[in-house]
Structure 1
Amino acid sequence: MANVNLRDVRKVYNQTQVIHGVNVDIDDGEFVVLVGPSGCGKSTLLRMIAGLEEISDGQVHIGSTIVNDMSPKDRDIAMVFQSYALYPHMTVAQNMGFSLQMRGNAKAEIRTQVEKAAKILNLEPLLERYPRQLSGGQRQRVAMGRAIVRNPQVFLFDEPLSNLDAKLRVVMRGEIKALHQRLGSTMVYVTHDQIEAMTMADKIVVMRDGFVEQVGSPLALYDRPANLFVAGFIGSPGMNFLSGRYAGGAVWIGEVPLPVSDLPVSASEGRQVIYGIRPENLAISDDDGLPLVVDVIEPTGAETHVVGHISGQRVIGVFRERFATQPGDVLRVKFDPRKVHLFDQQSEQRIN
């Protein structure tokens, strides 16, 4: 196991800079998720750690070693890809032990390491099967087993669950997290799915357009997003954003005042702001709430999602209650002022 440190890492393709001076510290044994929309640079950054992409500038440290000029095989890392990349003519055991065979390890040692990894991943009954005889989840576990037998300092995962159906993704999410808890290894995981990031990570690195927007624990990013992008990316359904004017300790959208707690707000009177509130921080009120005109009702069973608008601006609420209402009805809702996020309209940075 080892820590991974990125120091002012940059990547340039044909004079176009795509990674802009990234600085990230990944502690020994930590599970870190790089998350962001497609094209944000997260996979490129992972491939630079692995040595599959050249580093244009900056340094990548694995342990105490600068690995910029080291080949991938010498970095003591193991990578699990989106595609399983299994050899179809080899059994599960042969696929898992192939890297050790290429190193010249003894057959008895290879067998011991394969059996140990198979036990961790519940693959023991499948060792003599071929990839074509396995389900998608089983193939992904074989790919993980192939990485485990190498006993690397760092595991790298590049969107390993993207090819699985929704239900299996949830199962494999839990299996990868349990694997990390058993091994205690340093893991860097790339995904565009913020639910995966929230449920699996010790630390999340949110990226956009080759920049790091915010680094922190899942709940820190959820509770105190640094800017509008992070606030909108983390959380499902996404945070409500309403454009308004800060005045008299409230945010006004038209003639409707939205409550703000008495926490310090660096906003002058009349400043144009974005008022953010998460859907679960709305509550049904009998008479003194804000008027939410209902557009769509989405019952999920455990919750009811209500999509509507206040003063012409879209709002979604998530409620535990079940109630009979129709599009066009008006619900009275209260916003929890302690859970309000305020952002400057121009800079999009948090101001409360």
Structure 2
Amino acid sequence: MATVEINGLNKSYGGVEVIHSVDLEIENGEFVILVGPSGCGKSTILRMIAGLEDISGGTVSIGDRVVNTLSPKERNIAMVFQNYALYPQMTVAQNLGFSLEISRVPKDEIKRKVDNAAEILSLTPLLSRKPSQLSGGQRQRVAMGRAIVRDPDVFLFDEPLSNLDAKLRGEMRAEIKSLHQRLGSTIVYVTHDQIEAMTMADRIVVLRAGRIEQVGTPLELYEQPNNMFVAGFIGSPSMNFLKGTLSNEGGPSLILADQSKVALSHAAGHEGDVILGIRPQDITIDPKHGTPATVTLIEPTGADTHVSVELAGQTVSCVLPPRFEYELGSEIHLSFKSEHVHYFDPETEQRLA
């Protein structure tokens, strides 16, 4: 296990800079997940930590060593890819032990490490099989086991679950989290799936266009997003954003474009033009005091109902009880849980204190 420290990290392809002065400290034994939309630079940063991409500027340190000029092998890291990268002609046991064989580790030591990794990942009954005889989840466990046998200082995961179906992704999330708790290892994990990040990470790093937007625990990012980008990226379904004007005249409210009002239970602390952010889970039906809206989409999920409405020309998503009694085109009256409302500056998109 080891710390990972990134200072002023830059990456350019030709004259195009894609990673811009990234600073990040990852503690020994910490599970840190890099998230962001496709093309934000998260996999590029991971590959620079691994030594698979040259560093244009700044430093990467693993433990007490600056590793910029070291080969991947010299960094004592282990990387798990989304395509598993298994050797099809080898058995599970041979795949697990191959990196140790080429490092000339004694055979009895290889067997001990392979057996230990197989036991941790419930692969013991599968050691004589080949990858073609395994399910997707079993192949991913073999890829993880191949990393474990190397006793690396840092585990690097590059979207390892993206090829799996939804049910299997859920199972593997729990398995990787359990593995981290058992080994106490330092893990840097890349995904575009914010649900993976929320359920697995000690801390999340949100990236946009090669820059860090915010770093924090899952709860910190969910409850105190720095800006609209983070607020909209973290949480499912995504946060709603409504343009309007805050007014305390006649009671606190948000005045929308059509002059309709969204009543708020307490003043926001400031007045004027804002963008109000509200999560779909924090909207309720309130026939007496709610703001009228028109139902445009109904999606029952069993546990609840996802409903889209038109409110003053803006689309708003709501998560409502499973027994939703309205029809498409119906008028519905909605209230916002004011204690969960966020306010953002319309120009900078930064969260207002």
Give the TM-score, by structure 2 length.
0.96
- The CA deviation at 1:47 is 0.2
Contact 2:263 2:335 in 1 (8 A): no
1:8 is aligned to 8
- Aligned: 1:338 with 2:342: no
2:256 is aligned to 253
Among all aligned residue pairs of Structure 1 and Structure 2, give the percentage whose two residues are the same amino acid.
60
Q: Deviations over 1:29-60 (max 9, x none)?
A: 01000000000000000000001011111111
- Aligned: 1:158 with 2:158: yes
Q: Distance in 2 between matches of 1:99 and 1:110?
A: 10
Contact 1:260 1:340 in 2 (8 A): no
- The CA deviation at 1:257 is 2.6
1:295 is aligned to 296
1:182 is aligned to 182
2:93 partner SS: helix
Q: Distance in 2 between matches of 1:213 and 1:323?
A: 37
Matched AA of 2:274: V
Contact 1:261 1:340 in 2 (8 A): no
Q: Distance in 1 between matches of 2:106 and 2:114?
A: 12
Q: Deviations over 1:61-95 (max 9, x none)?
A: 11111111111100010000011111111110000
Q: Distance in 2 between matches of 1:250 and 1:47?
A: 48
1:69 partner SS: coil
2:310 is aligned to 309
Q: Distance in 2 between matches of 1:305 and 1:84?
A: 35
- Aligned: 1:227 with 2:227: yes
Count of aligned positions: 349
1:348 partner SS: coil
Assess, with a 3 A threshold, how the Cα gap between structure 1 residues 26 and 261 changes in structure 2: closer, same or farther: farther
Matches within 5 A, 1:1-352: 1-248=1-248, 249-254=252-257, 255-260=259-264, 262=266, 265=269, 267=270, 269-270=271-272, 272-352=273-353
Root-mean-square deviation (CA, aligned residues, Å) is 1.2
Matched AA of 1:344: D
Task: Give ranges in structure 2 of 5+ residues lacking alignment.
Answer: none
Matched AA of 1:51: G
Q: Distance in 2 between matches of 1:211 and 1:250?
A: 35
Matched AA of 1:5: E
Contact 1:80 1:143 in 2 (8 A): yes
Q: Distance in 2 between matches of 1:247 and 1:323?
A: 32
Q: Deviations over 1:118-140 (max 9, x none)?
A: 00000000001111111111011
Q: Deviations over 1:263-298 (max 9, x none)?
A: 764x5x43x321100000011113111112111111
- The CA deviation at 1:256 is 2.2
Q: Deviations over 1:212-240 (max 9, x none)?
A: 00000001000111001011111111101
Assess, with a 3 A threshold, how the Cα gap between structure 1 residues 98 and 315 changes in structure 2: closer, same or farther: same
Task: Give ranges in structure 1 of 5+ residues lacking alignment.
Answer: none
Contact 1:240 1:279 in 2 (8 A): yes
Contact 1:226 1:349 in 2 (8 A): yes
Q: Distance in 2 between matches of 1:118 and 1:24?
A: 33
Q: Distance in 2 between matches of 1:322 and 1:33?
A: 37
Q: Distance in 2 between matches of 1:33 and 1:53?
A: 19
Q: Distance in 2 between matches of 1:185 and 1:20?
A: 28
Give the TM-score, by structure 1 length.
0.97
Q: Distance in 2 between matches of 1:52 and 1:260?
A: 52
1:22 partner SS: strand
Farther-moved stretch of structure 1 (316-325 vs 59-68): 316-325
